[in-house]
Amino acid sequence: MSNSSLETLYHPSAATTAAAHVSGMAAYEALVKEAETDYEGYWARLARELVSWKKPFTQVLNSSEAPFFKWFEDGTLNVSYNCLDRNVERGLGDKTALIFEADDGTVTKVSYSELLARTAQLANALKARGVKKGDRVVIYMSMSIEGVAAMQACARIGATHSVVFGGFSAQSLRDRVQDAGAVMIITADEQARGGKHLPLKAIVDEALADNACPTLKDVIVYKRTGGAIGWVEGRDLWLHEVLAGQPTVCEPEWVEAEHPLFLLYTSGSTGKPKGVQHSTGGYLLHAALTTKWTFDLKPDDVFWCTADIGWVTGHTYITYGPLALGGTEIVFEGVPTYPDAGRFWQMIEKHKVSIFYTAPTAIRSLIKAAESNEAVHPDRYDLSSLRLLGSVGEPINPAAWEWYHKHVGGGRCPIVDTFWQTETGGHMITPLPGATPLVPGSCTLPFPGITTAIVDETGNDVPNGQGGILVVKKPWPSMIRTIWGDPERFKKSYYPSELKGYYLAGDGAIRDAETGYFTITGRIDDVLNVSGHRMGTMEIESALVSCTELVAEAAVVGRPDDTTGEAICAFVVLKRPRPSGDEAKAIAKQLRDHVAKEIGPIAKPKDIRFGDNLPKTRSGKIMRRLLRSVAKGESVTQDTSTLENPAILEQLGQAY
Ligand code: WTA
User: What is the per-residue pLDDT for 654?
Assistant: 84
Q: How many angstroms is it from 58 CA to the middle of ligand 1?
A: 34
* Residue 507 Cβ < 6 Å to ligand 1: yes
* Residue 419 Cβ < 6 Å to ligand 1: yes
Residue 609: φ, ψ to 5°: -115, 145
Q: How many angstroms is it from 424 CA to the middle of ligand 1?
A: 10
What's the rounded Cα separation, in Å, for the pair 441 and 200?
A: 37
* Residue 113 Cβ < 6 Å to ligand 1: no
Whether the upstream peptide bond of residue 260 has omega within 30° of 0, thus cis, is: no
Of 469, 534, 537, 602, the one to substitute when testing ligand 1's pocket (max ligand atoms within 8 A of C-beta) is: 534
User: What is the per-residue pLDDT for 3?
Assistant: 45
Write the CB contacts of 421 (distance below 8 Å, at least 6 apart in sequence).
312, 428, 505, 506
Task: Please say whether the beta carbons of 467 and 500 come within 8 A.
Answer: no
Each residue's pLDDT tens digit, 31-57: 999 999 999 999 999 999 999 999 999
Segment (H or E) for 463: none
What's the rounded Cα separation, in Å, for the pair 109 and 213?
A: 36
User: What is the per-residue pLDDT for 643?
Assistant: 79
Nearest to 310 by CA among 137, 142, 536, 102: 142
Q: How many angstroms is it from 394 CA to the middle of ligand 1?
A: 5
Q: How many angstroms is it from 125 CA to the middle of ligand 1?
A: 36
Neighbours of 635 (CB within 10 A): 9
Residues in the chain: 656
List, for the chain, all residue ranges whose pLDDT scores fall below the cut of 50.
1-4, 6
Average pLDDT, the chain: 95
Write the CB contacts of 214 (distance below 8 Å, at least 6 apart in sequence).
none
Q: How many angstroms is it from 395 CA to the middle of ligand 1?
A: 8
* Residue 427 Cβ < 6 Å to ligand 1: no
What's the rounded Cα separation, in Å, for the pair 656 and 652?
A: 10
**Residue identifier of the C-alpha nearest atom 10 of ligand 1:** 421
What's the rounded Cα separation, in Å, for the pair 491 and 641?
A: 37
* Residue 566 Cβ < 6 Å to ligand 1: no
Residue 570: φ, ψ to 5°: -115, 135
Helices assigned H by DSSP within 334-375: 343-351, 360-372
Neighbours of 6 (CB within 10 A): 12
* Helix, strand or coil, per DSSP, at residue 40: helix
**Residue identifier of the C-alpha nearest atom 23 of ligand 1:** 393
User: What is the per-residue pLDDT for 7?
Assistant: 55
* Residue 248 Cβ < 6 Å to ligand 1: no
* Residue 443 Cβ < 6 Å to ligand 1: yes
Neighbours of 226 (CB within 10 A): 9
Write the CB contacts of 42 (distance below 8 Å, at least 6 apart in sequence).
31, 34, 35, 449
Q: How many angstroms is it from 452 CA to the middle of ligand 1?
A: 14
The CA–CA distances, whole Å, from 405 to 218, 366, 391 equal: 47, 14, 11
* Residue 313 Cβ < 6 Å to ligand 1: yes
Which ligand 1 atom sits nearest the alpha carbon of residue 266?
18
Q: Which residue ranges are tagged as binding site for ATP?
A: 393-395, 417-422, 507, 523, 534
Task: Please say whether the beta carbons of 50 and 292 come within 8 A.
Answer: yes
The pTM is what?
0.95
* Residue 540 Cβ < 6 Å to ligand 1: no
Each residue's pLDDT tens digit, 310-354: 999 999 999 999 999 999 999 999 999 999 999 999 999 999 999
Q: How many angstroms is it from 411 CA to the middle of ligand 1?
A: 25
**Residue identifier of the C-alpha nearest atom 12 of ligand 1:** 393
Q: How many angstroms is it from 437 CA to the middle of ligand 1?
A: 21
Neighbours of 650 (CB within 10 A): 12
